[in-house]
Amino acid sequence: MSKLGNDLISALKEAKKKGFVTLQTSPDVGKLRRKLKLSQREFSVIYHINIETLRKWEQHQRDPDTISRAYLKCIQNNPEMIRDLVNK
């Protein structure tokens, strides 16, 4: 992952510690992925999410943690920018 991608994750973790990240619900990962017209593998590679984790989220076997919910919300709001940030 790029330095900027790592910085983004660090900033999200710091925001969580300070109570700034309080997302209680997660975007529908499957719906988001389909909207972007990506396979599970493509989505996992582009956004650096473990494919097994992605599958479990989509099958509702596991819920994303707070940081993951914030990251998914960022992807939902601006998928191109996030893709570019984490893949430089």
pLDDT tens, position by position, 13-61 = 777 776 665 556 778 999 999 999 999 999 999 999 999 999 999 999 9
pLDDT at 26: 77
pLDDT at 14: 78
CATH number, domain 3-16+27-86: 1.10.260.40
Concatenating the DSSP letter of every residue in 5-73 gives HHHHHHHHHHHHHTT-----S---HHHHHHHTT--HHHHHHHHT--HHHHHHHHTTSS---HHHHHHHH
The token pair that represents 65 in the structure block: 């943690």
Note the pTM of the prediction, 2 decimals: 0.73
pLDDT at 82: 93
